[in-house]
Amino acid sequence: MKLLSGHEVIPVEGAERERQVKHFEAYAPGLIRLMPGRWLMHAVYQEYADKIYSFKYKKGDVTVMTWPKCGTTWMQETVWTMMKNPNLNNPDAQLPLCVRAPFIELDVFSPPPDPGEVAPSNAHISATLKRLHPDEALGDAVHVQYAALCPSPRVIKTHLPFSLMSPAILDESKVVYVARNPKDVVVSYHHHSKIVKGHDFVGTLEEFVQYFVDDDLMYGPYWLHLKEALERRNHPNLHFMFFEDMKANPLEELKKLDAFLRTNLSEEQLGAIAKYTSFEQMKTRGVTPILNFERSGAKVDVLNEDIAQKEGGFLRKGKTGDWKNKLTPELEAEVDKWIQKNLNDLDITFRY
């Protein structure tokens, strides 16, 4: 099967599938590779891929694009606040993040249990859709449909690389791309894959690191994702930034974002937004990457609660350099070797 993006869909089979399902118990329904690129996705992605690729962006829309665990949620909240809540008094700020800033490929992680049905974890999105657009029949890609119906300017989240998104995205709208030190990414993604039932990772950190350096994690490969963004770095509608810079000096980064987004905020407003979007304040408000189930009161079972209680939830630590507490010297050497091999062709350096 060929996607509109030109990628060939190759089912993951045999020993590779067995290995993945042994370590990621939630991948039993099937995985696919998209060629070229070897992008790894849930098999169900092929049902949504063309809708995502054909999505019509409008002037003013901003997509926050990152590889998983590079700071999407932080930047979604920051960009949404700068654009829609600059004085921190918009009551819509209480709504779950994915209602305010749709996660365009979230259908892949919450497909309908049966045709015509809505996954319980999508109930709030379909309810919002029905409330705002009572005459609109619900389609099978609820999140794409919801994103399409949200009024512009929209803030949209994706972890997909440029090559799987509309080729017009940068000409018709803006993209904020966030890169993060891969050592912190692998530690954060390991935690995420254990707590989120959509992955259900049951292996060791050593095994997880091996998946990372072999480009075998969901949404992989990390370097190609980054490379596709760096190739577009000079496009005026792309803002490329680092998690580490945002952590070290949020006000400076917000000033750059302000110029990019043309939000024209004062230093005082930006300072207040930097505090409002700090790790501590976002954690207190319960702003999570996927859904605010706790706050919406929905009983949806997406987290392995015991692990989340013991080791932290979605907003785990929010630090730079936490890998130093997690990676053994052997694992660090393994990741360093992989970084050296791949950084050679890219004109960037990572802090920490």
Give the active site residues.
159
Any contact of residue 220 with ligand PPS (CB under 6 A)?
no
Stretch that binds ligand PPS, among 43-51, 267-275, 292-300, 312-320 (CB under 6 A): 312-320
Any contact of residue 194 with ligand PPS (CB under 6 A)?
no
Q: Which residues contact 328 (CB under 8 A, 6 or more apart)?
A: none
The DSSP bridge pattern shows strands 155-158 and 174-179 to be: unpaired
- Going by the DSSP 8-state scheme, the letter that residue 138 receives in this structure is P
Any contact of residue 276 with ligand PPS (CB under 6 A)?
no
Stretch that binds ligand PPS, among 139-147, 187-195, 197-205, 325-333 (CB under 6 A): 187-195
Residue reference for tokens 């999570």? 288
Any contact of residue 192 with ligand PPS (CB under 6 A)?
yes
For ligand PPS, give the closer residue by CB, 17 or 283. 283
For ligand PPS, the binding residues in 102-131 under the rule CB under 6 A are none
Q: Which residues contact 264 (CB under 8 A, 6 or more apart)?
A: 258
For ligand PPS, give the closer residue by CB, 52 or 138. 52
Any contact of residue 279 with ligand PPS (CB under 6 A)?
yes
Q: Which of 184, 216, 244, 258 binds ligand PPS (CB under 6 A)?
A: 184
Distance CA 259, CA 129 (A): 33
- Going by the DSSP 8-state scheme, the letter that residue 201 receives in this structure is B
For ligand PPS, give the closer residue by CB, 146 or 323. 323
Where b means 16+ CB within 10 Å and e means fewer, 173-194 reads bbbbbbbbbbbbbbbbbbbbbb
Distance CA 111, CA 41 (A): 13
Stretch that binds ligand PPS, among 148-156, 183-191, 208-216, 330-338 (CB under 6 A): 183-191
Q: Which of 81, 126, 145, 188 binds ligand PPS (CB under 6 A)?
A: 188
For ligand PPS, give the closer residue by CB, 138 or 176. 176
For ligand PPS, give the closer residue by CB, 138 or 220. 220
- Going by the DSSP 8-state scheme, the letter that residue 36 receives in this structure is T
Distance CA 145, CA 128 (A): 12
**Nearest-approach distance from CB 178 to ligand PPS, in angstroms:** 7
Instruction: Look up residue 179 and give its two tokens.
Output: 């890169």
Any contact of residue 191 with ligand PPS (CB under 6 A)?
yes
Distance CA 260, CA 272 (A): 19
Any contact of residue 193 with ligand PPS (CB under 6 A)?
no
Any contact of residue 292 with ligand PPS (CB under 6 A)?
no
C-alpha distances in angstroms, 13 versus 9, 19, 166?
Answer: 12, 10, 29
Give residue 69's region: left, alpha or beta (phi > 0; psi -120 to 50): left
Backbone angles phi, psi at 73, to 5 degrees: -60, -45
Any contact of residue 72 with ligand PPS (CB under 6 A)?
yes
Instruction: Answer yes or no: are the C-beta atoms of 104 and 50 closer than 8 Å.
Output: no
Any contact of residue 316 with ligand PPS (CB under 6 A)?
yes
Any contact of residue 186 with ligand PPS (CB under 6 A)?
no
Q: Which of 23, 33, 42, 69 binds ligand PPS (CB under 6 A)?
A: 69
Instruction: Answer yes or no: are the C-beta atoms of 213 and 182 closer than 8 Å.
Output: no
Stretch that binds ligand PPS, among 51-59, 147-155, 310-318, 329-337 (CB under 6 A): 310-318
Any contact of residue 70 with ligand PPS (CB under 6 A)?
yes
Contact residues toward ligand PPS (CB under 6 A) are 66, 68-74, 184, 188, 191-192, 277-279, 282, 289, 315-318, 322
